[in-house]
Amino acid sequence: MTRKLFIVLAAFLCLALLSMMAWAAPITIENADSVEEIRGKVQDAINSASAGDTVIVTGSKTNVGLEDATLALDFTRNVTIVWEADYSGNYEDGRLISLSGAGVFEVKGSVVNEAGSAIEYYGSGDGTVKVTGGTVKAAFNNGARNSLYAVSAGGGRKVIVENGTVEANGNNVTNVFAIGITRGEVEIIGGAVKAVSRQDDGGGRADAIIGSFNNTITVTGGEVSVIAEKGEAAAIHARGGTVTVTGGRVTAKKSGFDHASAQAINVATATVAVKGGTVLSEAAEPPAGETNANASYAIYVSSDGKVAVTGGSVKAIGGHYNSFDDIHNNADILIAGEGGAAAFLKGACEGGNFIIWAPKPPGTPKDPGIMIVEADTAGVPPSRNGTSEGLTVKEKGIPKGSPETAVWDTTGSVPKIVFTMETIEDPKKKVELEWGINASNENGETDPKTSGGCGNTGVGTVLAALLIPALFVLDRRFYAASRKKR
């Protein structure tokens, strides 16, 4: 084999791989097109494509009005639509774009509705809305409205934001949500997801991300934020499932005064894991004489959810309920439900205020069991198994003398904190919370060969280290052999 043949074969392999990825000719839209004409163009391209193909949409239509209809697209083939077009208008009757079937809708251009919702992925099953640039925006400023979504996705769907902006901006809208998901996944890698709400009377809520039922919500970068004048406001609001923050910023801010609260993360039964990034809530300080104020909670647990803060920064700023008791003011972590449990790494919760608030039902003899503890390390030495060494109780069931305990369990691949709490239903309820990583020594240090990260030398790394020099040597030998033949 000559050097030239070696290069030709490599090029052939690259071409073969590229041939597996098919793109049709781009579809161009324009203002003169009706919504139905655009639907016909795009739907025909989907119907004639093969699974795995890509359909690109370019151009601009910026005059969608009330006389138009929703642009409804059905993924009859599992294809990717790359939306590079600018598509906007004032369409009050529903949403600008509705999707169904299984496929990927990738936004690189814009989908902006100044009078209603933007994108809805209808039904349940496989399917992804992916924002890699541009803007997806839902806005409403013309009177009262019940709800507003920038992106709404049904059961099993996925929403990914890598870059660009996803925004919901409502004036006197009861519920303002940037991303709404039901039994699905949300992944924020970069860009901005934000909800902005202004209300005359309050009583509503605004969430940057809201998850109904069990969902997986992950933030590794970018910013998830909510700013609300009145009503409840959460950057991430999840009933069940998991919320994981490893980077980026998750922030909530209240600017008005109406006895509501700013919550960076609000969960019911979900498990929250903060491993990095910033989780911040902020409520405006009331002026002198103002009796309507707000609360500020960085992480709020309304039921029996669990919280593990092993890194990053968690902090609540501001918050005063002047006409209520002091328990409502401000907390890095607040748990208001029977059986809730939380642990945080020393120094990670910067505000240093923690609240348990679970008034017992009338006539019941005990208060619900709740515990919040501080841990001195994220790497747990094996000798701590079965002990509470390094765990400091910050808040526990009322009265504080009730027999709740927290001990380490280091027997598995991931260490746990095991809480035993006295609840109304169960006098010895156990709650297990995964925590950090197993340490390789008694100082809490970890062995880079076993703990992963930059120091982890896996099989792929070893193979790469061996194969790349080998290929270089082979290439040099082929080159040398060819020169001798000449």
Q: Tens-of-pLDDT digits for all 486 residues of the chain?
A: 555 554 544 554 444 444 444 455 899 999 999 999 999 999 999 999 999 999 999 999 999 998 889 999 999 999 999 999 999 999 988 899 999 999 999 999 999 999 999 999 988 889 999 999 999 999 998 777 889 999 999 888 999 999 999 999 999 999 999 999 999 999 999 999 999 999 877 778 999 999 988 999 999 999 999 999 988 999 999 999 999 999 999 999 998 888 789 999 999 999 999 999 999 999 987 777 776 678 899 999 998 899 999 999 999 998 765 444 444 578 999 988 777 899 999 999 998 889 887 655 555 555 567 889 999 999 999 999 999 999 999 988 654 445 678 999 999 999 999 998 877 677 788 899 999 888 766 665 654 433 333 333 343 433 334 433 443 344 444 444 444 444
Tokens linked to 266? 């609000």
Q: Is residue 410 part of a domain?
A: no
Q: What is the pTM of this model?
A: 0.85
Q: Is residue 26 part of a domain?
A: yes
Q: Is residue 131 part of a domain?
A: yes
In this prediction, residue 18 carries a pLDDT of: 41
Pairwise CA distance, residues 170 & 142, whole Å: 9
Number of C-beta neighbours around residue 439 at 10 A: 22
By the 8 A CB rule, do 363 and 330 touch? no
Q: Is residue 291 part of a domain?
A: yes
Q: Is residue 371 part of a domain?
A: no
By the 8 A CB rule, do 292 and 285 touch? no
Pairwise CA distance, residues 336 & 233, whole Å: 17
By the 8 A CB rule, do 373 and 342 touch? yes
Tokens linked to 10? 């490599």
In this prediction, residue 124 carries a pLDDT of: 83
Closest of 127, 137, 131, 141 to residue 108, by C-alpha: 131
What 3-state DSSP class applies to 30?
coil
In this prediction, residue 471 carries a pLDDT of: 39
Q: Is residue 1 part of a domain?
A: no
In this prediction, residue 466 carries a pLDDT of: 40
In this prediction, residue 328 carries a pLDDT of: 56
In this prediction, residue 139 carries a pLDDT of: 96
Q: Containing domain of residue 244, as a range?
A: 22-366
Q: Is residue 473 part of a domain?
A: no
Domain count of the fold of the chain: 1
In this prediction, residue 396 carries a pLDDT of: 81
Q: Is residue 200 part of a domain?
A: yes
Closest of 72, 81, 131 to residue 107, by C-alpha: 131
Residues 6+ apart with CB under 8 A from 36: 69
In this prediction, residue 41 carries a pLDDT of: 97
